[in-house]
Amino acid sequence: MRLSNQLTYDMKLKCGTDSVKTATIPPISLDELDLSEAAEHSWTQKVVSSSLDHSLIWLNTSTCINTPSKKTSIYSNTEARVVCSACETLIQAGVAADSIGVITPYQAQVQLLKSMLSTSDVEVNTVDQYQGRDKSIIIISFARTEVSSNSKKTEGILSDARRLNVALTRAKHKLILVGNREVLDVYDPIYKLLHTLRPHQIINLPADPVLK
């Protein structure tokens, strides 16, 4: 709520009750998770954290090895792997798959994610298809790994503050943002979003964030 308040509502939004204000995902015991391969990567633990401080995190992929998209479509294999790993870890921890939603601006990324996720119960769609609905946990994959050649940076949700706000407000308990901050920083709404986040909310991923 603080993020949306600062970006859009001039701090006029108020929580109806204290229980809504402090609501998070249920506590998860890390001892019950098989994090042996990714234990050294704190980002996995932040994904499943029920702390209010981690109810909003940005997983920064600018530190990862990113493969450029084809010129005819926009997608990110690296982000798709991170999103799938996050979903699988949450589900393994006992989170219901249908309480997780994934939003991405590009149809190519929607199709890639649907093909990679191990369950169809995690709903993957564009921001427009999510309007008016919400999920306990929302993961947003921005998918861009290169700066647009469009000098005006008119890239749908990336330059549309209203649509970005719609995406940000679909989460009831936890919001996980996945994207290359160095690339996305050129879009005004994303720049403002990034500079609204607190330092502990931005997590730089390792070069290979998902060990196999």
Per-residue model confidence as pLDDT tens for the chain (212 residues): 888 888 888 888 888 898 888 899 988 766 656 654 544 457 888 999 999 999 999 999 998 887 666 666 889 999 999 999 999 999 988 899 999 999 999 999 999 999 999 999 999 999 989 988 899 999 999 999 887 665 445 567 899 999 999 999 999 999 999 999 999 999 999 999 999 999 999 999 988 887 54
Beta-strand runs (E) in 33-148 = 56-60, 100-103, 123-125, 135-141
pLDDT of the residue at 1: 86
**Tokens 């890239």 correspond to what residue?**
155
Nearest one of 125, 101, 112 to 173, comparing CA atoms: 101
Note the pLDDT of residue 210.
76
Q: Exposure string (b/e) for 105-119, b if CB count within 10 Å is 16 or more?
A: bbebbbebbeeebee
Domains and CATH numbers, the chain: 2-204 (3.40.50.300)
- For residue 212, the model assigns a pLDDT of 44
Whole-number pLDDT of residue 31:
65
What pLDDT, on a 0 to 100 scale, did the predictor assign at position 38? 47
Sheet with 202-204: list strands edge to edge.
Answer: 123-125, 100-103, 135-141, 171-179, 56-60, 202-204
